[in-house]
Amino acid sequence: MDKVLLGMSGGVDSSVSAVLLKEAGYDVIGTTLNLFSNGTCCSYIDVKSICNKLGIKHFVIDGRDEFKKYVINDFIDCYSNCKTPNPCIECNKYMKFGLMYDKAKELGCKYIATGHYAKTEFSNKYNRWILKKSNSINKDQSYVLWNIPKEILEFIIFPLSNYETKEEIRKIAKEHNLSVASKPDSEDICFIPDGNYKKFLEENSTLKPNEGDIVNSKGEKLGKHIGLYNYTIGQRKGLGISYKEPLFVIGFNKEKNEVIVGTQNELYKKEITITNINLLLFNEINEEINVTVKTRYSVKEVKAKAKQINNNEIKIVFNEPQARITPRTICCIIYR
């Protein structure tokens, strides 16, 4: 019987994952990551209750130092440099598929598992293990899993990969009398439960309100801002300026402490260059290829062409210009 270490958050997805893994014949061990000192993103009471009910072992991994180093510090660094972070992506790479995978090996587990909606499978076409989208169109999370180390893909199980709706998952939870069957999904940043990221930045970094100019793309001053970290690409509300047509944040000038705004047309880009790449299907892109690209979790995939420039850069040319391309937070996921 193969052992699998399952990451459990106390939510319905990871709880049902435990049920499905047990039913599939795995020796399941549950684990919860303690990620920060002032609280936790996980409900330990719910996790313990589920594990006791299912008769599986459970323990806590202290990942506070690693979480601060790789996730919180990155979060602060991004806002300090006029970028908008996606902490879940960094957490997946370094915590769930980094620290947790290392712990699994120590325990003699062959696999690790999480309640993400995604798939891993061996591809004869590419002769390697690959990451695929789940059957759930609305819940697919392959977008936030792009940076999983390719060498561990074959040791990852996503028990929910073949389910199409959240209702199916809740139904399984109810059938097994799990207390979390109706528990709502958490959508907040785990270390900022009140959703006030600006307050978090001001209390945990050197970022403080620092007034500067709001200018248009011609350099004309239109108003004042209260600190660059308070704004993001595509933002329209809260600018405090009036103009003959709607204006949106289209960029920043950190050296001049300026927020740059423009019209809706100025939000669109025909091409971008992506860095920090992680090629899962092949080792390199030898020629320009046709792809579909997802630039934001909530948007549909669009057609584009991709060409690798060097070991860490890929140029993307969209068939149709795309809006609100945000540096750093908007990962460019290429599907084939």
Q: Give the active site residues.
A: 91, 190
Quick count: other Cβ atoms within 10 Å of Cβ 121? 11
141 and 132 in contact (C-beta within 8 Å)? no
89 and 95 in contact (C-beta within 8 Å)? no
DSSP 142-153: GGGGTTS-GGGG
Torsion angle (degrees, nearest 10) of CA 167, 138, 47, 107: 130
Beta bridge partners of 273: 315
At residue 306, φ and ψ (nearest 5 deg) are -120, 140
What interhelical angle do 12-23 and 166-175 show, nearest 10?
A: 70
Beta bridge partners of 29: 5, 57
